[in-house]
A and B are shown apart, each in its own frame.
Chain A
């Protein structure tokens, strides 16, 4: 290879270098293919007992079976409902609260240390309490998702509000904006893209706590199906449950990313 050719093709291995989107997609698809192939090879060569690791074919078969004859749609539906309900309950309280925390120092002093303490409380350890307080109905699953996501969410959202550049706030004040207007037309508006991203990330955590909730107390949903499959040693069914959760997560994430680009075309990567 001569010097000219080397210059024409920039190295992929520059630290924080660039990669065009076609190459990115190709590599991303390649990684999925690689792991699937590895999975298929290991099981096709019977290196592992299918009881521990069923092959892709078996999992796919179980998926079709569960989808057509079983209640995969209902299971995924009820799980999604629980995640969305717990997540929305959390977000509805966290959004206004974080705005006030990010805006006013005394409120921050009042809430932040308490929230920092609360976020270290293991949500899973709340399961007995939640069951005691709210029984085994839908409320208990939603409550557990709430406990798992709320504290982190408020802290991260208030950080987004606190990161709004000070000159944006002060310029508004010198232009005659009152406190309410600074909150609504500057703080909220300016932090919105970052807050949207924070919500996207915390939605992923909601799925984690959903499975915990359904493993403990449920008679429907993907987490429950996974637990039941374990009892009957249906490893392929466990795999289907896990993969379906992963796919729903990946799908929502990509959807929200696309929505972010549509809603906030003005949001650059650095403050203006």
Chain B
């Protein structure tokens, strides 16, 4: 399959007052067109930095990030991003938030009356698809966390992005809401086939949603391993799957890798000394 996104020999150094530190070290991977790639790793492994570089919000120190063989230097509409929280515009209603990009010059420039009408139709469709129809005129502060993230997802999808970047989009939600969001995202993707790069700290979420899971190791951030998820196709996955042996086995192996890379160890001697 053709690669939609290619990351090659990526390095990122942050310069600080006391010198600097390396956030990403020689990171290379590719995502095929239409693939759902999840990135997991211990905290501080640079997974969010990596996603921000792909979005064009941050520059790499060296290395290439290419989408469709074109280098990524700036944010662009075809690489929409969903943030963990605080990204909605509180002065706009739910529908106006979803339609935010329609008011921008970038969409007006290529806008014929025809395309504007299509975008309007599409925004209403996304509103229904995300189940936000009943609250279309509500302001964000009146919504639950799960609903707010649904608005953010619909808003990102409106411009038909080639690449959908999600930075721990369900990280601030409670466990039940997160399960509902998993079903919603699988449902939407069945209709809206996109290439997705999804950063999360939740391994179960990664395995349940993704085609492949990439494990980053911290200090400095580098690719530790890549796991192909041999599970039924997205639409046939159900919550029961999370309790199957195959699923828990893969989840366990990935978790073990993350533990191993985070420097945590079961040092029983040290523990005994602590309790003494």
> Which A positions have Cβ atoms within 8 angstroms of B?
165-168, 170-178, 181, 185-186, 189-190, 192, 264-268, 271-272
Please tell me if the beta carbons of A174 and B80 are within 8 angstroms of each other in the complex.
yes
- Residues of B whose CB lies within 8 Å of any CB of A are 55-57, 75-77, 79-81, 83-91, 100-101, 103-107, 139-141, 148, 152, 155-156, 159, 165
How many A-B pairs fall under 8 Å by CB? 88
In the complex the two chains form, what is the Cα distance from A174 to B100 in whole Å?
12
Bound form: Cα–Cα A192–B107 in Å: 25
A171 near B90 with CB under 8 A, answer no
25 contacts between A and B (CB under 8 A): A167-B87, A168-B88, A170-B75, A170-B83, A171-B152, A172-B100, A173-B75, A174-B55, A174-B77, A174-B79, A174-B81, A175-B100, A175-B156, A176-B77, A176-B104, A176-B106, A176-B107, A177-B106, A181-B104, A185-B104, A189-B91, A190-B89, A190-B90, A271-B90, A272-B140
A181 to B88, CA, bound (A): 16
Whether A267 lies near B90 (C-beta < 8 A) is yes
In the complex, the answer to whether A178 meets B106 with C-beta atoms within 8 Å is: yes
- Report the bound CA distance from A163 to B109 in whole Å: 31
Contact present for B86 and A165 (CB under 8 Å): yes
Select one of B76, B104, B141, B155 contacting A272, CB under 8 A: B141
Complex contacts, A176 vs chain B, CB 8 Å:
76-77, 101, 104, 106-107, 159
Q: Which residues of A contact B83 (CB under 8 A)?
A: 167, 170-171
- Whether A272 contacts B100 by the Cβ 8 Å rule is no
Give the residue name and chain of the B residue nearest to A269 (CB): B141
**Residues on the A chain within 8 Å of B87, using CB:** 165, 167-168, 170-171
Q: A167-B83, A177-B104 are in contact. Are A272 and B88 (CB under 8 A)?
A: yes
5 further contact pairs, Cβ within 8 A, besides A168-B88, A174-B75, A272-B88:
A168-B89, A171-B155, A174-B156, A176-B159, A190-B91
Q: Report chain B residues within 8 Å CB of A268.
A: 90, 141
Contact B79 A175 (CB under 8 A): no
- Selected from B89, B105, B159, the residue in CB contact (under 8 A) with A181 is B105
Report the nearest B residue to A175, measured CB to CB.
B101
Kindly state the separation between the CA atoms of A177 and B159 in the bound complex, as whole angstroms.
Answer: 12
| Minimal Cβ-Cβ distance residue in A for B107 | A176
> Given A176-B107, A176-B159, A272 and B80 touching (CB < 8 A)?
no
Q: Are B89 and A175 in contact (CB under 8 A)?
A: no
Q: What is the minimal beta-carbon distance from A162 to any residue of chain B, in angstroms?
A: 15
- Rounded to whole angstroms, the CA-CA distance of A171 and B85 in the bound complex is 11
Q: How far is the CA of A268 from the CA of B88 in the complex (A)?
A: 13
What are the residues of chain B within 8 A of A175 when measuring CB–CB?
Answer: 77, 80, 100-101, 104, 155-156, 159
Most B Cβ at <10 Å: residue of A171, A177, A178, A181: A171
Residues of A within 8 A of B84 (CB): 167
CB distance A174 to B141 under 8 Å? no
Taken together as a complex, chains A and B put the C-alpha atoms of A159 and B84 apart, in Å, by: 24
A residues in contact with B107, CB < 8 Å: 176
| One of A165, A170, A265 near B57 (C-beta < 8 A) | A170
Q: Please, how many angstroms separate the alpha-carbon atoms of A178 and B109 in the complex? A: 13
Known contacts: A174-B79, A174-B81, A178-B105. The answer to whether A266 contacts B141 by CB under 8 A is yes
Distance A175 CA – B155 CA, assembled complex (angstroms): 9
Q: Which residues of chain B are near A174, meaning CB under 8 Å?
A: 55-57, 75-77, 79-81, 156, 165
- Residues of B close to A177: CB separation below 8 A: 104, 106
> Could you tell me the distance between the alpha carbons of A175 and B106 in the complex, rounded to whole angstroms?
9
Determine if A167 and B91 form an interchain contact, defined as CB atoms under 8 angstroms apart: no
Complex alpha-carbon distance, A263 and B272, angstroms: 62
